[in-house]
Amino acid sequence: MQVALFRALKSANIDDEAAAKAVVVVEEQIDMAVGRAIEPLKQQIAGLELKLDQRIAGLEGKFDQRIAGLEVKLESGLKGMQTSIDGLKWYIIGLGSLMTGAIAVGAALTAYAQFIK
């Protein structure tokens, strides 16, 4: 458009400097008109960005709460498992001790029976 306007002004016998200034003025007017026209759009975009940021923050809060809840449940389950493992260890130790005692008694009885013969 700039070149077409400049050529039109030149064909109307307007000197180069005046034609160039006219083109600059028209460009500035267009820039201002476009700026005014898009201002409501900029405000709408800013409003949407704010809403989006708020929703994202809300979701992050919900995710943080759910993750914290899962961590508590996991820790509770692991403590329960540890308690079960500790009980199983004591059961195995007790059973092993009982078996060792039974083997010792059996060996002693066998030795005694051999001695009596």
Give tens-digit pLDDT for 76-113: 888 878 888 888 888 899 898 999 999 999 888 888 88
* Geometric angle at alpha carbon 31, from 25 and 32, rounded to 5°: 90
* pLDDT (tens digit per residue) in 7-38: 777 788 888 888 888 888 889 999 999 999 99
In this structure, are residues 30 and 5 in contact, taking their beta carbons and an 8 Å threshold? no
Nearest Cα neighbor of 22 from 12, 35, 33, 34 is 12
In this structure, are residues 23 and 5 in contact, taking their beta carbons and an 8 Å threshold? yes
* pLDDT (tens digit per residue) in 46-67: 999 999 999 999 999 999 999 9
- Residues contacting 5, CB < 8 A, separation 6+: 22, 23, 26
Does residue 114 surpass a pLDDT of 60?
yes
On the 0-12 / 13-18 / 19+ scale of CB atoms within 10 A, 20 is middle
User: What are the angstrom distances between the C-alpha of 27 and each of 6, 17, 22, 23, 24?
Assistant: 12, 15, 9, 6, 5
